[in-house]
Structure 1
Amino acid sequence: MASECQVIIGNHATASKKNKHKAMKTTIHPKKLFATDCLGALLTAVVTGIVLVQFESVFGMPRNSLYFLSGLACLFALYSFLGYFYFSAIGLKIIAFANLIYCGITIFFLFYYRGLLTLAGVGYFLVEIMVIICLVYVELKSAAAAGTNTTQP
């Protein structure tokens, strides 16, 4: 499906005109990606730092790890908020790789706390990882299409 998608940044298309009508178009402005990332990070911060902490016995992830993940999500939300106003393709790549690091840390926690985690906990974090990886894919495609030297106001 990814090969069928066409990412359009502003007026620049990544597919040739020949394939323009054959491919499914997905118009994603980098500012919208930063906004989406910011809102997603805020949601993650609230869920991991407040909701899951209140239901630690239901999900099994220790509080200190939930607070750590929540803190990372807050930092990513701040970065994405600033990225919304000061966009650069490199900045989009940075948040994409930061998101991958978040996924790596979460996977580490899943293995480290495997004896404590419940099915609900594993399920929540696996779904979160899948959503983040989809976002990272779009962010990297958009950053590549926008070019590494462009800065948009």
Structure 2
Amino acid sequence: MAAAVLRHCWRGLLQNSGNGAVGTIRSKIFEGVRLKSTVQYMSLPDHPKLAYRRVKGKSPGVVFLPGYGSNMSGEKAEALEDFCRSLGHAYLRFDYSGHGASEGVFSEGYIGTWKKDVLFMLDELAEGPQVRLERLNQLEKCQRLCF
């Protein structure tokens, strides 16, 4: 499953990269030592603190949106971080309010709350064009309608 997500990410980066440099470093993917980003927190007024991990890099950046009830610490999210880091691209993953390391109560959240989380994180942390990746699940249609 993680390999399929990485292929999807690769296609997105190739389509959104203005220069052909991405293809020249394909052989260097996952080479070297794993560096892991650290958990940080963002605050929104009257809203729980949101946990995130970010790798700074070139554009386009990749934003990973976890699936419903999931969090940013999954195998795919970690593999994507390694992938983006190896190519020098920016990468952002975060936990929605009430999920994972973020504050809040899961049962008090709804799609509108989590949409607000996504828009806030994009506004505050993403720079330039972004490739959006989300887990393909039952909420996919709803996410496409809302975002």
Normalised by the size of structure 1, how large is the TM-score? Answer: 0.28
Pair member with larger Rg: 1
Structure holding more strand per residue: 2
Normalised by the size of structure 2, how large is the TM-score? Answer: 0.28
